[in-house]
Structure 1
Amino acid sequence: MKYLALTFTILATPALAQQSFDCVMDPAELVQVGSPVAGLLAQVNVRRGQQIAAGDVIAELTSEFEVATIGLLEARASSHAALDAQRARLELTQGRYERTRELMERGVTTQDAMAEVEAELVTAQSLVAQAELEQDVAARELDRARAALDQRIIRSPIDGLVFERRLTSGEYLTSDGYVTSLVQLDPLHVEAFLPVELFAEVAEGQNVTIRPAPPIGGVYQGTVTVRDRVFDAASGTFGVRVELPNPEGVLPAGHRCLLDLE
């Protein structure tokens, strides 16, 4: 029994001592940037390998029609002639109504005349309300036209690097196509698969050491952000994701590494 126990200890020790595992450093985001509308590209402002910030203009679609529409709607929305005319008519009708009511109280005019002026007042009030509605609709149509123009300007959704430029000026962008691919390199997402025996030893928020393979090298600290709760039965492993800060972008994505559990 002593020999059997000693043999079991010797066999079990190497598996428990193994704390370094293969991993891959991936970009945090890989975004294929397209447009909600299709159209002809007027210009593309980025090149492969260029650093780009969120909100920077990547490309613009031709927009002569949208610009002309905005000019037309701006003229309509800025014109208050119809509304001013209806308000002046309402003011005149209100004055006539007040005078007719005074005459009615003194018994000088008839009930029919009073009813006629009241009807004119209601009509004038309705016309003012209609003019105000048309003014508001014109302003909303202008906002919609500006939004449509803004959709033809393609901006970067992230801070990152241009990984691929797929289209150039003069080419047609379809509704399901994209102009460029962007990658976010800060932070990096390190992906690894660990034996299921270590599941209880790994927790989200745990610090781990990442050692990139040559020729990069070095030792970096990361934090476990994901611990898969579904095992791979065939390999007896579970996946983990480590967030690795990369503020200067010195670490490349798509490179192999070793993950050391602390």
Structure 2
Amino acid sequence: MKSLPPALLLAWLAGAPMAATYDCVMDPAVVVEVGAPVTGLLDAVLVSRGQVVAQGDVIARLKSDIDEVSIRLIRMQADNRDEVAMHQARLDLALKRQARLTQLSERGVATQEQLDEADAAVDVAGRELGIARTRVQLMAVELEQAEALRAQKEIRSPIDGIVVERNLAGGEFMTQESHIATIAQLDPLHVEAFLPVSMYPALSLDQVIEVSPGAPIGGVYPARITAIDRVFDAASGTFGIRLALPNPGSVLPAGHRCTLEIPGDGG
């Protein structure tokens, strides 16, 4: 009969539950193949393999010369207030004439026809001023649209992570199917393991388990259970769990084997 290690023997003699060790794998929390919402010629790709990026960082740009010209043109039109000022002056003049004719009409000097013409002139001038103001507002919206279209030419990282692969370079054409780079989020890491069904009653969400990366990394790190499969694999008599392993600074690598230790083996 094989003898127990001293530590386990002492634990057994003391009546303490012995821990069970299981194999696991440390994977990236998220892997994103970054594309673009529009097609076009790449002006520059600003990242390389192994580079750390933050969410929102610009990682590539598409050619946007035409967009820049359109934005300058629309901005000039949106900033132009001459038409509004002209119609405002016409309305002010029509209001003064209307007020003067109203006074004359009250004294019986001006005719009703003249007063009606003055009222109509005020109405027309007011409508023309409203149309001019609406046109300025529409140009402002068109400017926002043009700037939004230009912003689509700047491709940004959707996550904090590390560039695993760069697929395109400046001068290449970006299609709807292609992607510029692959970015992996390494903080936290996802630890995946398959355990015997006998362990199911011993586990719960948010339970903390110690994870030991394989050589040459080593060390022991606490990880929290975030998912427990509720559908067992009948053929192997196992179920899967996922743990979140904090990895500040992305010190621990992903795609590496590990072991996790669960106290009190249920079977």
Q: What is the number of residues matched between the two proteins?
A: 247
Find the aligned partners of 1:232 and 1:17 in 2 and give their Cα distance.
Answer: 26
Counterparts of 1:71 and 1:102, CA distance in 2: 49
Q: Matched residues, percent identical?
A: 47
Is this contact kept in 1: 2:29–2:187, CA < 8 A?
yes
Q: Deviations over 1:140-189 (max 9, x none)?
A: 11111011101100111111111000000110111232100001111100
Letter in 2 for 1:93: A
Deviates more, 1:48-57 or 1:81-90: 48-57
The 5 Å alignment of 1:102-141 reads 102-141=103-142
**Alpha-carbon shift at residue 17 of structure 1 (Å):** 5.9
Q: Which whole-Å CA distance do the structure 2 matches of 1:135 and 1:248 have between them?
A: 50
User: Normalised by the size of structure 1, how large is the TM-score?
Assistant: 0.91
How far apart in 2 are the matches of 1:100 and 1:195? 97
Which residue does 2:14 correspond to in 1?
A: none
In the TM superposition, residue 106 of structure 1 has moved relative to its aligned partner by 1.1
**In the alignment, is residue 197 of structure 1 matched against residue 216 of structure 2?**
no
Structure 1: segments with no counterpart, 5+ residues: 1-15
In the other structure, the counterpart of 1:250 is 251
Q: Which amino acid aligns with 1:47?
A: S
Segment drifting more, 201-210 vs 224-233: 224-233
The CA deviation at 1:250 is: 2.1
Deviation digits for residues 208-246 of structure 1, max 9, x if unmatched? 011111122211111111112222222222211111111
How far apart are the structure 2 equivalents of 1:132 and 1:28?
51
SS for the counterpart of 2:247 is coil
In angstroms, what is the RMSD of aligned CA positions?
1.3
Q: Could you tell me which residue of structure 2 aligns to residue 35 of structure 1? A: 36
- d(CA) in 2 for partners of 1:66 and 1:139? 16
The answer to whether the 8 Å contact 2:98/2:122 transfers is: yes
Secondary structure of the corresponding residue to residue 158 of structure 2: coil
Secondary structure of the corresponding residue to residue 249 of structure 2? coil
List structure 1 segments (4+ residues) > 4 angstroms apart after TM superposition. Answer: none
CA distance in 1, matches of 2:140, 2:260: 58
Q: Secondary structure at the match of 1:248?
A: helix
Q: How far apart, CA to CA, are the structure 1 residues paired with 2:232 and 2:262? A: 19
- For the Cα contact (< 8 Å) 2:211–2:260, is it kept in 1? yes
Q: How much has 1:18 moved relative to structure 2?
A: 6.7
Report the equivalent of 2:153: 152
For 1:9, the equivalent position in structure 2 comes to none
Deviation at 1:94, TM superposition (A): 0.5
Cα distance in 1 for partners of 2:74, 2:248 equals 46
Q: TM-score, normalised by structure 2?
A: 0.90
